[in-house]
Structure 1
Amino acid sequence: MEIERINDNTVKFYLSYIDIEERGFTREEVWYNRDKSEELFWEMMDEINDETEFEVEGPLWIQVHAMNNGIEVTVTRAQASDNDESEPQFGMDDARKPFEPDPSMFANSEQLMSELNDEPVVWTSDMFVFEEFENLIPLSTSIPVYAVESSLYSFENKFYLYVIYDESKMDDDDKSDFCSLISEYGSLSQVTIHRLEEYGKVIMESDALATVKKYFGN
């Protein structure tokens, strides 16, 4: 899980589907099972509180964004003014109960389910980040050959491996296995390929893993 503290009242976290499965949940439960999604959400908030001291206080605004390989959640503590006599969106008698996006701002669960059923999320690519180039070397020598295209970029003193899957040869299980192997050396990243192409530097334009193995694997 990647956590970003935006300001005193807002925190954003990214959770890949691999992270979700490792915590004992499925992506279907996250989207379609309210109890399970709430359970996962509060587990994440406990972890975020431990790491960033972001405490749940008062009403919450929650925005969930579906991505190819996971979910991005933004949580904001709403600050009601002293003169605001309106009912808060979420009561705090039980801090574990309030978990519902504002219907005026975010799609409700029925609409989201319909959209996902009509236009299923297709898992076609992933972006991985490595703190050191040296982390790529043992990965390149140990990972089996998969039907992927890979390119390598450097950006803000980190290295990014962009992977495009061959949909005709790799199913979601193959992709999960591939991600699990890479996660031993790096992690999934929210940085987009468009940002890297604009601001990053191309290190290896194609066949990145094979090229690293060829020149550095001995």
Structure 2
Amino acid sequence: MRVERLGKDKIKIFLTLDDLSDRGIKKEDLWTDVPKVHDLFNEIMEEAYEELGFELSGPVAVEIFALPAQGMVVIVSKGKEQIWADEETDEDLFALEVTLEESDSIIFAFKDFEDLIEAAKRVNSYLMYGGELYFYKGHYILVFDQMDVLDKNVDDFIALLSEYGEVSPISKAVLEEYGKVVVKEDAVKILINHFS
């Protein structure tokens, strides 16, 4: 489990499939097994408090992004929802609004262009189709469809990308609307041809 602060009132937690299986949770449980998910959320919040001093009170919005062959990203934001604004709330309690999304896309963000190029070189042999490249909020973001990875080597493919970048919870729809398209098709092969 990796926890990082995104702002004063927002954190991001990345849970690998191993983190989930260690807790006896499958990705499908997120949609069906409420007690297990509740226990997982409490554990996440304890770790966030220990590592970052992030404490819950009042309204909380939780976005859970299930990522193929990787695990999930949980974004927790506190104190932003207006639906509780007029209600009195106990300081020790928190209201919870959860959004669950599952994606067949593999999306990785790279802060450094050189890391992007190195990742492209390493994963090229795993691809039938080279994905798309966007620029969004200071990051280069590669987007792949799981079906583009040859011979179902998705785990190895993701492991290689993880050496150079990090899983991005940003959806392809957000990138298409707000990001800048750098290379729309076959991005990996184009990067290699121009920068190797």
Q: In the alignment, is residue 141 of structure 1 matched against residue 121 of structure 2?
A: yes
1:1-218 → structure 2 map (5 Å cutoff): 1=2, 3-5=5-7, 7=9, 11-15=10-14, 19-25=15-21, 26-34=26-34, 36-56=36-56, 61=60, 63-67=62-66, 69=68, 70-74=72-76, 76=78, 121=102, 123-143=103-123, 144-166=125-147, 171=152, 174-217=153-196
Go from structure 1 to structure 2 and tell me whether the alpha carbon gap of 1:75 and 1:215 turns closer, same or farther (over 3 Å shift). closer
Q: Following TM superposition, by how much is the alpha carbon of 1:184 offset from its aligned partner in structure 2, in angstroms?
A: 1.1
Instruction: Map Cα deviations across residues 42-76 of structure 1 (whole Å, 9 max, x no partner).
Output: 3322332244311245x665645455553545354
Q: What residue identity is the alignment partner of 2:133?
A: L
**Contact kept? 1:154, 1:160, Cα under 8 Å:** yes
* TM-score, normalised relative to structure 2: 0.66
Instruction: Map Cα deviations across residues 96-122 of structure 1 (whole Å, 9 max, x no partner).
Output: xx9x95xxx669xxxx9xxx9xxxx5x
Q: Which runs of 5+ in 1 are unaligned?
A: 93-97
Q: Following TM superposition, by how much is the alpha carbon of 1:39 offset from its aligned partner in structure 2, in angstroms?
A: 4.2
Go from structure 1 to structure 2 and tell me whether the alpha carbon gap of 1:168 and 1:146 turns closer, same or farther (over 3 Å shift). closer
Q: Following TM superposition, by how much is the alpha carbon of 1:159 offset from its aligned partner in structure 2, in angstroms?
A: 0.8
Separation of aligned partners in 2, 1:168 and 1:212: 17
**Contact kept? 2:129, 2:148, Cα under 8 Å:** no
Separation of aligned partners in 2, 1:56 and 1:178: 36
Q: What residue identity is the alignment partner of 2:115?
A: N
**Contact kept? 1:130, 1:187, Cα under 8 Å:** yes
Instruction: Considering fraction of residues, name the structure with more strand.
Output: 2
**Contact kept? 1:154, 1:200, Cα under 8 Å:** yes
Q: What residue identity is the alignment partner of 2:12?
A: F
Q: What residue identity is the alignment partner of 2:136?
A: F
Q: Which runs of 5+ in 2 are unaligned?
A: none
**Contact kept? 2:63, 2:76, Cα under 8 Å:** yes
Task: Provide the identity percentage.
Answer: 23
* TM-score, normalised relative to structure 1: 0.61
SS of alignment partner, residue 127 of structure 1: strand
**Contact kept? 1:152, 1:204, Cα under 8 Å:** yes
Separation of aligned partners in 1, 2:130 and 2:178: 21
